[in-house]
Structure 1
Amino acid sequence: MIKKNIVFIIVTAFLCFYKGTAQGGAQKKMQSRKTAVFSNVIYNGDDRIYNENPLKSDEFYTPVLQGCYPDPAITRKGDDYYMVCSSFAMFPGVPIFHSKDLVNWTDLGGILNNVSEFNPHDTGISAGVYAPGITYNPHNDTFYMIVTAFSGGLGNIIVKTKDPMKGWGSPIKLDFGGIDPSIFFDDNGKSYVVHNDAPDKGKELYEGHRVIKIWEYDLNTDKVIPGTDKIIVDGGVDLSKKPIWIEAPHLYKKDGKYYLMCAEGGTGDNHSEVIFSSDNPKGPFKPSSNNPILTQRYFPKDRTNKADWAGHADLIQGPDNKYYGIFLGIRPNNQNRVNTGRETFILPVDWSGDFPVFENGLIPLQPKLKMPAGATNKTGKDGFFPNGNFTFTENFTSKKLDYRWIGLRGPRENFISQTKKGLEITPFEVNIKEVKPTSTLFYRQQHNTFSFTATVDYKPQSERDLAGIVCLQNERFNYVFGITKKGDDTFILLQRTEKGQSKIIAGSKIKITNSLRLQVKATGDSYEFSYAANGIDFENLGGVVSGDILSTNIAGGFTGALIGLYATSANDAHP
């Protein structure tokens, strides 16, 4: 017994020593990594469409959220409007915005901001969470956000709050499949969830055949009620025409009738919004004879100032008691490629007849709208989210980092710290091409013509170290523009990765005596990467390169291009 105790003590002491040594080694290894300090970041958007269409005093621009803010949903409590969008593997999940007038929006950050509850650490950039719904329930004065999560085995989840300004509760896992859920609260107190799903087993008629299901929802237990599910739309407006991807359903009630609005045609060239009505929330639902009520699919592909892919919409009554619809759309570049991703647009809606119709939603979309009565355009001022052409300057001196800066697959706080010199990034031993959290602080590309300039203070210690700017569509399609070492020499290089295969476009030996200024500029599909050793005189590296790999057309997926302040200690880009 004594021998056993002595052995136990020796083993325990050894394990404690080993653990302490290992932890100390890990800490020293982390401390030995060369940090990069970024400062004086300037993003400038300069799209021709805004220069040619200046606003009058009673106008505002659509899209209201430029860049990758797709799949919008909206709700209202009194004078307060809350809007959410998809975020995929960006972190935090499900960005949320607040407005009083549908024109001026304040960024409130992300709803799913607790990595212990939502952790997309091992998901591709187009996974994570998407197609949220948000609804205010006046019966219990509670907001509900419901979404599909493709990470951590979550599936469909719902979160609640009494006040979206003060944060949200923990995710509650829901027991049903499919995607694109939204929740509806009837005026009699009953609750329902509608979502996209596959047809019943053995009843799929063609590829893209989907259905819309409804469930009764128990507010006391926050569960769908088993056995209450029912298919209320099979295929779409006309099953005989083999419609594809009926999805993104939203249920409304007006003048005693129920309305079911859905996207149809897939989130691309054939995208549209359609609507059905019924006297009962569980159907039968009859499609409007005027479907689609919103689409851009009928117009010439080469039209100027093209906005396209309109659909995936939600409706709300505005402050002027007029209805409005928010929806996703895209603004392709001069090569008809989608680099800025799917954005959040808005249009007034005419609901004077039996069915709502998006005003001017069946003609080519225009960039400007009349503001709701009483609204004043303050976008880009007083803390409101900007749109149109604008300049965003970041010196990282504010105590609260702007919510437009995001992480990928994990919290930005895990690798950043704000110092007197600027934003310090402690690099992960992770490469931008890995499906892991990266030590990159990202900003969405919001214009087809833009420049993004940053100062970096960085001296790599080995060829495994790199810091600079990354332009990323996903882990397999991106540009890395950064500083690294080869032997005793320091290099700046430009690496292009396509389909996961990387090649060095250009490299140059440099001597760093002070901070370096890095810049990426795009004019449509043409991107240029430049650096200034003296902070003023920029020198191009690699000439003009194509932004093709930063488009969803080439790279696939559902996101828009991101521009990142990047540092890594697992660099594989060598001159």
Structure 2
Amino acid sequence: MKKVTVKTIAGMLPLMISILSGIAAFSQKKAQPLFTRFTYEGNDHIYTDNPLQEGEFYSPVLQGCYPDPSITRKGNDYYLVNSSFSMVPGVPIFHSKDLVNWKQIGHVLDRPSQLKVEKAGISAGIYAPDIKYNPYNNTFYMITTQIAGGIGNMVVKTQDPSKGWSDPIKLKFDGIDPALFFDDNGKAYLVHNDAPPAGKTLYNGHRVIKIWEYDLARDQVIEGTDKIIVDGGVDITQKPIWIEGPHLYKKNGRYYLMCAEGGTGGWHSEVVFVSDHPKGPFTPAGNNPILTQRHFPKDRANKVDWAGHADLVEGPGGKYYGVFLAVRPNDKNRVNTGRETFMLPVDWSGEFPVFENGLVPIKAKIKMPAGVKNQTGQNGFLPNGNFSFTDNFTAARPDFRWIGVREFRENFISTSQQGLRINPYPVTIKAAAPTSTLFYRQQHASFQATVTIRYTPQSEKDLAGIVCYQKETFNYVFGISKKGNDHYILLERTDNGKSTLAGSEKLTLGDTIQLRVTARGDAYTFSYSTDGQQFKSVGGTVSGDILSTDVAGGFTGALIGLYATSANDIMIP
């Protein structure tokens, strides 16, 4: 027998370390969940009761949390962006040739140098982006307020929105909701929401709209050119609140300023002013508001509410259209799908633009522009109405509809022909921090989402599964964990930061398990299947109240997440 010496052992150390590292890596890999299939199916009665006829399309055009839309046009190409708050990547951007059929071409803020939301609240981050095309220098601009990372108001630009955007240029003014305007003489202006001058605030919600001249060579406002062009709103004697989201347009030689007024809730509206000069004075239209849903019975059927924060574009054939945000409350009048992107034709045959049927209860269907074919859900165009979405996670790059919160997807996921693997972070979904969760927006009041997962937790600290998430203090977690030698499936409800175990069940793990969340309005159920056939509920029917904006607060809609953590804190009885 060969004598074992210290020298021999020392020589074997690299091999031993390599073996131990391999074992550790294998163990870590086993604790990573593998998601192999996700299916989302929407089933809202508004669509089954109102099937599309020839020449019609559905509004909202973007369902789920796609608020604060802004739109621009270059030739026959239309581009639309939305607020993204602390969702990552930031500012989803969509392209269309006809205003009906849309494809997501990516995100404007798609790299860490542009987006600093790691420590931001769910409703901080990116507010009210404005997108404009400047024909005088063939450049697109996206200007926004980033309430995170010490950035504030900022602008990025590109000559091709499908090929990426510049790093942010910080802008030197206060306030929020900036928007650019390019006059037909090539001169540029910037309008935004701001506080009244110091000592001049008259009431809570008193804001002003300010304009600056803008230096295109330096990408900065020109110091000393600022001017208040709207004080308070249409009629300051009525104490209007939260004049914001301004956009400036020019038509027939006159300048039109369109703004949201009334706050982004039940009194929300859109108003318009006119002037002979971009810096005013501006006169409000006599028929303001030009869009609102605030005057109708609260218990009306198929309610659309909170309409406002709009932007206009000249569509095919010279017809104007407006995009705006609104909500569709569920059967308990709760807002789980968040603020969505709606569209209406706009009548601008008179002096002022007016949203067609924007002052009556908004319907689910509108007429398409002449000569357009509805291809939504086909040929790569995004679906709307009732639809299904299936992802086997085998693509090299995840679908643009998958997002993180405070964290870029690439930092915690990997994909292969096997599916999607999540590397769990040592934080839970209840942390106001980056988490290892891949999110999909809830897009219907009634839906079913099912995910197939392979997962073997190694300890009580390991958990993976599916979440329904409004924010870190309001959410459901439905996942697989371990206690002793036994595996469990758990349902936890977190309501305003207080977590309770809503249900648990001992589980025999097989090769895969399916987890499912089903919503019928406010009634949510969480169930699982080990055979792919029979699903068993855990915790019974629970309320979706905590997933509603009006309960949880903030500006975002509910998200469905594929989740993993190595810091599970759910106590198994």
- TM-score bucket of the superposed structures, by smaller chain: over 0.9
1:273 and 2:270 correspond: yes
1:87-106 equivalent positions in 2, closer than 5 A: 87-106=84-103
Q: Which amino acid aligns with 1:195?
A: H
1:509-520 equivalent positions in 2, closer than 5 A: 509-520=506-517
1:444-459 equivalent positions in 2, closer than 5 A: 444-459=441-456
Q: Which amino acid aligns with 1:376?
A: K
Whether contact under 8 Å (1:33, 1:427) holds in the other structure is no
Secondary structure of 2:318's partner? coil
Q: Which residue of 2 aligns with 1:246?
A: 243
List gaps (5 residues or longer) in structure 2: 1-16
Secondary structure of 1:320's partner? helix
CA drift at 1:398 = 2.3
What TM-score do you get using the length of structure 2 for normalisation? 0.95
1:358-437 equivalent positions in 2, closer than 5 A: 358-437=355-434
Q: Which residue of 2 aligns with 1:7?
A: none
Work out the CA distance in 1 between the residues paired with 2:567 and 2:126: 28
Q: Which amino acid aligns with 1:313?
A: A
Secondary structure of 2:362's partner? coil
Work out the CA distance in 2 between the residues paired with 1:542 and 1:533: 17
1:204 and 2:207 correspond: no
Q: Deviations over 1:528-558 (max 9, x none)?
A: 0000011211000000000000001110000
Q: Which residue of 1 aligns with 2:10?
A: none
Work out the CA distance in 2 between the residues paired with 1:286 and 1:529: 54
Whether contact under 8 Å (1:33, 1:426) holds in the other structure is no
1:287-306 equivalent positions in 2, closer than 5 A: 287-306=284-303
Whether contact under 8 Å (2:395, 2:416) holds in the other structure is no
Work out the CA distance in 1 between the residues paired with 2:202 and 2:121: 30
CA drift at 1:31 = 4.2
Q: Which residue of 2 aligns with 1:10?
A: none
Work out the CA distance in 1 between the residues paired with 2:302 and 2:434: 37
List gaps (5 residues or longer) in structure 1: 1-19
CA drift at 1:574 = 2.0
Among 47, 53, 56, the residue aligned to 1:56: 53
Q: Which residue of 2 aligns with 1:260?
A: 257
1:227 and 2:224 correspond: yes
What TM-score do you get using the length of structure 1 for normalisation? 0.95
Whether contact under 8 Å (1:36, 1:467) holds in the other structure is yes
Q: Which amino acid aligns with 2:495?
A: E
1:186 and 2:209 correspond: no
Q: CA RMSD in A?
A: 1.5
Whether contact under 8 Å (2:30, 2:455) holds in the other structure is no
Work out the CA distance in 1 between the residues paired with 2:182 and 2:342: 25
Work out the CA distance in 2 between the residues paired with 1:29 and 1:311: 53
Q: Which residue of 2 aligns with 1:8?
A: none
1:119 and 2:125 correspond: no
Q: Which residue of 2 aligns with 1:339?
A: 336
Q: Which amino acid aligns with 2:67?
A: P
Work out the CA distance in 2 between the residues paired with 1:568 and 1:39: 18
Q: Which amino acid aligns with 2:388?
A: T
Q: Which amino acid aligns with 2:445?
A: N
Whether contact under 8 Å (1:73, 1:85) holds in the other structure is yes
CA drift at 1:211 = 0.2
1:32-111 equivalent positions in 2, closer than 5 A: 34-111=31-108
Work out the CA distance in 2 between the residues paired with 1:214 and 1:33: 57
Among 142, 148, 169, the residue aligned to 1:172: 169
Identity across aligned pairs (percent)?
A: 65
Work out the CA distance in 1 between the residues paired with 2:351 and 2:152: 36
Q: Which runs of 4+ in 1 moved over 3 A?
A: 27-33
CA drift at 1:522 = 0.2
Q: Which residue of 2 aligns with 1:553?
A: 550
CA drift at 1:394 = 0.7
Whether contact under 8 Å (2:36, 2:419) holds in the other structure is yes
CA drift at 1:116 = 2.9
Q: Which amino acid aligns with 2:497?
A: G
Work out the CA distance in 1 between the residues paired with 2:488 and 2:402: 28
Whether contact under 8 Å (1:124, 1:475) holds in the other structure is no
Q: Which residue of 2 aligns with 1:525?
A: 522
Work out the CA distance in 2 between the residues paired with 1:420 and 1:190: 52
Whether contact under 8 Å (1:444, 1:563) holds in the other structure is yes
Whether contact under 8 Å (1:33, 1:569) holds in the other structure is no
Work out the CA distance in 2 between the residues paired with 1:543 and 1:502: 17
Q: Which amino acid aligns with 2:111?
A: N
